[in-house]
Amino acid sequence: MKKSFIDRILSTSFVIFATLSPLVLNMGAAQAQDSDRTDSLRAELSSFNQVPSVLAHGHGNFEAEINEDGTISFSLTYARMSSQVVQAHIHFGASMTNGGVAVFLCGGTKPACPASGTVTGTITATDVSVLPATNGDSVIPQGIEPGDLAGLIKAIRHGDTYVNVHTAMFPTGEIRGQVQTR
């Protein structure tokens, strides 16, 4: 028996729907899991990671966890800095580029940085301040707005953030490390 034109369209549509439905549902589930997952983060800080590089003896380590509630718990340890540590923060910038400040870890809007040692804390949406990147006299918007912790986490997971520790001797940064998931 020959199928009518309408019957052929309906049966073809059903086959396409039955084939694609599981794929679409899995994509939605993967996106939901991505926003709720935890990640362990780390960065090794060295003067040779600065852009441009500097010659200094300071070194450091950053470890963090993206928590299920969307906050970030962190520990920043550094030692052998050339002079007083003025501030430390997370920047939004790819490896070998300079980007704007996204979150202060110490100094700035946070308590003063110790001369050496460990700084710990939890980053929430209210901590995301986002000072824009600059190039000479030009201000470069980067798309993360103040309070946009989800946007910062997306940049972190993409590998486009770094931790930078600034000192009196090296005000643009003495040690730096790209944040990576582990």
pLDDT category of residue 145 using cuts at 50, 70 and 90 = confident
pLDDT, residue 84, reads 96
Query: Which backbone phi and psi does 12 adopt, to 5 degrees?
Result: -65, -45
pLDDT, residue 27, reads 45
Q: With H, G, I as helix, E, B as strand and everything else as coil, classify residue 19.
A: helix
Nearest to 89 by CA among 102, 74, 73: 102
Mean pLDDT of 44-61: 96
Report field, pTM of the whole predicted structure over 0.75: yes
Query: Is there a contact between 108 and 119 (Cβ–Cβ < 8 Å)?
Result: no
Q: How far apart are CA 55 and CA 36, in angstroms?
A: 40
Instruction: Examine the pLDDT at 39 and tell me if it is beyond 80.
Output: yes
Query: Is there a contact between 80 and 116 (Cβ–Cβ < 8 Å)?
Result: yes
Tell me how crowded residue 161 is: count the other CB atoms within 10 A of its CB. 25
Q: How far apart are CA 73 and CA 147, in angstroms?
A: 16
pLDDT, residue 6, reads 61
Query: Is there a contact between 118 and 77 (Cβ–Cβ < 8 Å)?
Result: yes
Instruction: Examine the pLDDT at 11 and tell me if it is beyond 70.
Output: no
Q: How far apart are CA 164 and CA 89, in angstroms?
A: 6
83-115 as b/e: b if 16+ CB within 10 A? eebbbbbbbbbeeeebbbbbbbbbbbebeebee
pLDDT category of residue 22 using cuts at 50, 70 and 90 = low
Per-residue pLDDT tens over the stretch 98-135: 999 999 999 998 999 999 999 999 999 999 987 777 76
pLDDT, residue 80, reads 97
